[in-house]
Amino acid sequence: MQPEIEKSRQRLLESSQPLDVEIRCSALQLLTNMRDRLALRADADTESLNEIVHQTRVDSKRLRALWRLLKPGLKTTDYSRLERLSKGLAKPLASSRDAQVMKETLDWVSADLPPDVRQRLLPGLVQVLGHVTVNEPALLQVVQTLLRLEQAIVAVDLSSMSKRHLHKGLKQTCRKGSSLAHEALQKHAMKPMHRWRKWVKLLLFQSGWLLDETAPKWISQVKALGSALGRLHDLDVLAVQMEEARACFWQEDLDQVSTGIKAARLKALAEIDTLTDEIYAKRARKRAKQLYRRWKH
């Protein structure tokens, strides 16, 4: 991979400093990191370009998690604008990233299949997806949105933001996650599981704005849960895509990879059930309170 692309990280909000200053400083620092990473695209090989896309989308989610955390203290119009612009950073890159993830999922789920089967499966998937690549117009659109978001962050009024707003935001996220978990685990259906996954990742990113190695141990379990839910979603998307395009694959190959998907799905569900029991044993309010107190003190 050339050049080397660093993993995305955010600057922690310092509880001992004025909150409005900290929010603006940390958010703008993340935008600077994004801009510096995007500037490497001209010299990037395919692997590095894919990583630039991935990390940009991760940073978009980090920012959206921050605004959701602060939503109780933001004006509705300010929240809507920050959310829309942050989401807009990822939107132009969605098709290329989704195609890349499907290829990677097919690669690992078919790892134990005969070489000749694997050699037929990938071209079949490419035929379904088309030759989706990261293009400069999409990246340029991200750069332009980045500039508008920076202007919005500089201009937004954060003077009334207080720590109680942040605590309330954590409680809302924890409660929503618990509610969606209950709904999703009833049938393990694709859409409810994916909605739950979004809020699991939201809590993880919100924790990342507040705490690092001082985070409660269960945050590492939340990270593992998010990863397991992500694998499950990737498997479900791949299964749906391949089923809808059966004509592009040999029936015998499709049967073999379908068996692999089902086995991997059952493994992911078992991991999800175990992690859920451990994480949600403590009530949402208590989990939010623990995160808030760790950050505040």
- Tell whether the model's pLDDT for residue 8 goes beyond 90: no
d(CA 243, CA 235): 12
SS3 75: coil
Q: pLDDT category, 21, cuts 50, 70, 90?
A: very high
Ordered domains of the chain (ranges, CATH): 19-296 (1.40.20.10)
d(CA 152, CA 76): 14
- Over the stretch 183-207, which tens digit does the pLDDT of each residue have? 999 989 999 999 999 999 999 999 9
- Over the stretch 52-88, which tens digit does the pLDDT of each residue have? 999 999 999 999 999 999 999 999 999 999 999 999 9
Q: pLDDT category, 1, cuts 50, 70, 90?
A: low
DSSP string of 2-70, one letter each residue: -S--PPP--PPPPTTS-HHHHHHHHHHHHHHHHHHHHGGGGG--HHHHHHHHHHHHHHHHHHHHHHHHH
d(CA 143, CA 39): 9
Amino acid 55 reads Q
- Over the stretch 94-127, which tens digit does the pLDDT of each residue have? 988 898 999 999 999 999 999 999 999 988 888 8
